[in-house]
Chain A
Amino acid sequence: MVWNGVHFNLNTIIPWPIILIWTLLYFALLAWAWRPREGRPFGNFKTIDFVYIALVAALLIVYNFFISPLIPKVGTVTTYFYYPIIGETFLVMLAAALVGKPGSAGLTMVIYTLLADIIHYGFGGEPFWFVYEVTSYAAIIDMWLIYRGKYYMMPFKGVFKRGSTTALDGGSSNTEELEEELKPAKALFIVDALLGGITISTAYPFWWRGFWGPFVLGISFTPSFWLITSVASVGAGAVLGLIVAPFIYYIKRVLT
């Protein structure tokens, strides 16, 4: 059976139950992150967050359809180390860093995919390409954002300390409030970079070749090719994540 270009081929390297569980887990996270507040969906998000996501999605379109093809590609290298993904790595991590809320990377990928479908790819294969894009490129970053929040891609972490508030007359009041204090966390900054880079670099070789490509298009890959390219992409992602990290930190400091 084929519907809207989807072949529903379940003869895939990654078994479909794993994909199903992963997708359900991530969608549960999104349902929590995008839960309505005061009757408004995306209750945690502010207007500026939507603006950042929109602008990064526009940048992603320009990068993927215009700047990325400018980068010379050597097939024997790009199969194992797809360096043009650096732009996507940079931009998705930047969106997550600027918004700093779980679900921001997922929302960026939703907007980018919708836009790419409208201007270039068409809606063939949908809604599965949406599921692929958010679960592969954004899920791990969004999960990590639950812990890192607004400090994602910054060499700091917030530590809450008890502090007494100062009364208007200058004396100390009885009420105690939690104050957030910045503490250096270079190791966490490196983990941010590694997780972001590896997530985005492995999306195509691991998730697409392992499940989504065969499932939607019906094509097939040998398990050894899938394994080798997936392992190689972990190394590539680590390198790319570390390269883009200082730039993201710099931009975040400039803009926020």
Chain B
Amino acid sequence: MLLSQLLYNPAVNWTITLVILFYGPVLVVYLIFKLIGFQGYMSLFRFIEGKSVIYRMDPRVKILLSIIVTTVAAITIWWISAIMFVAIMSLYALLSNIKEKLKVAVPLILASFIGTAWTESIFAPYSYLHIIFHSVTFLYVFPQSLAVLGITQGTGTFYVPYLGYVNNPVGLTWQGIIYGLQITFRAVAAIASGLLLIFSTPPSDILRSLEKSGLPIELGFTLLLAVSSVPKVLENSMIVLNSLKARGVDFRPRSKNPLVFIRESLFIIKVVIMALVGIVILTLRDARQIAIAADIRAFRAYRKRTYYRDIRMSRMDYIVLVLLIALLIAGIYISGLPGMGAVPYNP
């Protein structure tokens, strides 16, 4: 009784609601910034050579792996996605400098889990949850007025712990969390396979493989330049953001007064725009020199180009290709079995 009065006291109820509404994004930001940081992001774009089988595979096969894993994950039940996710993560053991790679991959994957589970726990439409799980349990009820934000609202009377029976409650559901976790497995299997491609393939090889697949040289050049420029942009960003911090700029609104909080937030937005101008000018200043360098190397002068090192499919690539096609066929077959299809997005 006491707990009930405490939990659903209007002030406490609003406070808990706001914490629940914001904890997902805050945790995602924390995971990305505190655990990965600038250096972690830069390591995404700095290829480190390795000698294992995963490094010797043709990039086209690894791109196909990503596509087939995403397809099978999208059409089959969640635990098949989970198995594929674990299988791909086990391939990370073949990467060199695995600790550093996991330092980037794990927070990104965790951020997906937390972000999606959080979103679905409070935003999954009640009709979906009812059709998928047949019954819906509200763990905590928010103020009714928040229904306009699209938060899950039950139809009918529901028992809510520490509150009793409530008509058309709006709030956090247990099935929403489960639903969010289930559909996240689709995304994380794809993210893990995409990161595996990045970690195990030099950017130039990815681009050459795309060119071999028919991508025009102009797009290949632009893409390669974009990939190789990201660390430079990150360095420029670090210089500009650190110089702002050195001048006392705080990127987090800290005030507990809502008006001051809004003012601080607006100030941060203003600072971000000003910082962006500095970062953009620092980055684009060298554009003309890069263009001249490309032109004097006869960029676009001939349609056919030669390469120091060509990419060819090896026997191992063909074996992996056959395995991937088998996985796709198995996935299509399994998805047709009763109860083995994907958790529907639109039941």
Contact = CB atoms under 8 A, between A and B. Distances in A.
Interface of A: 2-7, 9, 11, 39-42, 45-48, 50-59, 61-63, 65-67, 69-76, 79, 83, 86-87, 90-91, 94, 98, 107, 110-112, 114-115, 117-126, 214, 217-220, 225, 243-244, 247, 250-251, 254-255
B82 interface: no
Contacts of A117: 194
B287 A255 contact: yes
Contacts, number: 215
B227 A115 contact: yes
Task: Rank and list the top 10 A-B pairs by shortest CB-CB distance, nearest first.
Answer: A122-B190, A124-B70, A218-B345, A54-B225, A58-B229, A48-B291, A218-B346, A122-B194, A5-B74, A57-B226
Given A42-B216, A247-B273, 19 more contacts: A2-B71, A2-B75, A5-B70, A46-B291, A50-B218, A58-B225, A58-B230, A58-B232, A62-B279, A70-B272, A90-B276, A110-B219, A114-B223, A119-B45, A120-B194, A125-B70, A217-B345, A244-B273, A251-B277
Interface in B38-94: 38, 41, 44-45, 63, 66-67, 69-71, 73-75
B222 A53 contact: yes
B132 interface: no
DSSP majority for the A interface?
A: helix
A118 B206 contact: yes
Interface in B183-239: 186-187, 190-191, 193-195, 197-198, 206, 216, 218-219, 221-227, 229-230, 232-234, 237
B32 interface: yes
Contact of A75 (B21, B195, B290): B21
Interface stretch (B4-12, B22-30, B169-177): B22-30
Contacts of A119: 44-45, 194-195, 198
Interface in B76-121: 108
A230 to B, nearest CB: 15
A55 B226 contact: yes
Contacts of A111: 219, 222-223, 226
B206 A219 contact: no
A11 B198 CA distance: 36
Nearest to B194: A122
B223 A115 contact: yes
Nearest to B71: A4
Instruction: Report whether over half of chain B's contact residues are helix, strand or loop; otherwise say mixed.
Output: helix
Nearest to B64: A123
B253 A72 contact: yes
A68 to B, nearest CB: 9
Contact of B74 (A48, A51, A61, A124): A124
Interface stretch (B154-162, B295-303, B305-313, B316-324): B295-303
Contact of B226 (A83, A115, A125, A214): A115
A122 B63 CA distance: 9
Interface residues of B, number: 81
B74 A4 contact: yes
A250 B274 CA distance: 12
B28 A72 contact: no
B337 interface: no
Given A50-B222, A66-B41, A111-B222, A120 B191 contact: yes
A220 B346 contact: yes
Contacts of B237: 62, 66-67
Contacts of B44: 119
18 contacts: A47-B295, A48-B287, A50-B225, A58-B226, A66-B237, A67-B276, A69-B28, A69-B32, A70-B29, A87-B276, A111-B219, A111-B226, A114-B219, A121-B190, A122-B191, A125-B70, A219-B345, A255-B285
B226 A5 contact: no
A256 to B, nearest CB: 10
Contacts of A58: 225-227, 229-230, 232-233, 283
A48 B75 contact: no
Nearest to A125: B70
B16 interface: no
Given A57-B226, A59-B283, A123-B66, A40 B299 contact: no
Contacts of B33: 69-70
Q: Which of B32, B219, B299 has the most CB of A within 10 A?
A: B219
B234 to A, nearest CB: 6
A79 B149 contact: yes
A5 B71 contact: yes
Given A118-B198, A218-B346, A247-B277, A86 B227 contact: no
B345 A55 contact: no
Contacts of B225: 50-51, 54-55, 58
A75 B20 CA distance: 12
